[in-house]
Every structure is written in C-alpha cells, then in structure tokens.
C-alpha cells in the first residue's frame, strides 16, 4: 500500500494534535509543523503529497506560505 504523505501546519498545538490524530492510521504518513519556517524545513527533506495549512498564523498567513513554497 502506498503511503500518502501529509504536512500539517498550524500554530495552535491543539489543532495540530487533532489533525495528527485524525490521520494517524495507514495509509497516511503525517508530518507536523507549528511554524511556516518549520514546515519549509520539512518540505526540504520530505516528499509531501498533501499540505493542510492554517490561514491565520502569527508570523505568516497561509496564502503567503503557499506562495513561498
């Protein structure tokens, strides 16, 4: 079975942990980041198929994050 790599980006740790729990079972391989910078570091090292990002974050909004990546 092929794994689906998901990157979850949210600055609220409760939302982040909820999304990680939601996708914890196969075929998902979940990577979590609490800052856009951390998410970019993950993207540099991992092949990611799906990205779920919060729109409103302290350092950068989700639209800017997607424009950078």
pLDDT in tens, 25-62: 999 999 999 999 999 999 999 999 999 999 999 889 99
Instruction: Reply yes or no on whether the pLDDT at 1 is more than 90.
Output: no
What is the structure's pLDDT at 59?
87
CB atoms under 10 Å from CB of 4, counted, come to: 14
Strand order in the sheet with 28-33: 28-33, 4-9, 50-53
SS (H, E, C) 41-60: HHHHHCCCCEEEECCCCCCC
Segment 14-29 mean pLDDT: 94
- In contact, 53 and 10? CB cutoff 8 Å: yes
């Amino acid at each position: 079975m092929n794994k689906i790599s998901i990157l979850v980006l949210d600055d609220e740790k409760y939302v982040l942990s909820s999304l990680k729990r939601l996708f914890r079972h196969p075929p998902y391989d979940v990577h979590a980041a609490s800052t856009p910078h951390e998410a970019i570091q993950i993207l540099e090292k991992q092949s990611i198929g799906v990205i779920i990002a919060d729109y409103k974050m302290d350092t950068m909004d989700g639209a800017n994050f997607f424009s950078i990546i």
